[in-house]
Amino acid sequence: MDGVASRYDRATDLGGTFENYFCPECGSTVYFKGSKNADVTGVAIGAFVDAHTMTPVRSVWEESKHGWVEIPTAMQHFDRGRP
């Protein structure tokens, strides 16, 4: 990856911070971090050239998903964030 990412912070329901890093030119999310698991960096699936080779392992915040979204049963499910 090359270049500079812009950052947007938002408060979490548990009083932490969720950091979103995005391209300042197009607005695409590149990666994200949270204060709860500060040593973990999430990378947006769209940032990979061939995202079709990856399989999700968990689904979080299902309570706010759109009604038309179908989530496979063969993964971890969380109505809100992971505990």
Roughly how many angstroms between the first and final C-alpha of the chain, as a whole number? 31
Return the C-alpha torsion angle 74, 80, 6, 53, nearest 10. 0
In the prediction, which pLDDT does 12 show? 87
In the prediction, which pLDDT does 52 show? 80
28 near 34, Cβ under 8 Å? no
In the prediction, which pLDDT does 44 show? 83
In the prediction, which pLDDT does 83 show? 61
* Spans of all domains in the chain: 1-48, 50-83
pLDDT in tens, the chain (83 residues): 577 899 999 998 888 999 999 999 999 888 999 888 889 898 888 788 887 888 778 888 888 889 998 887 778 888 877 66
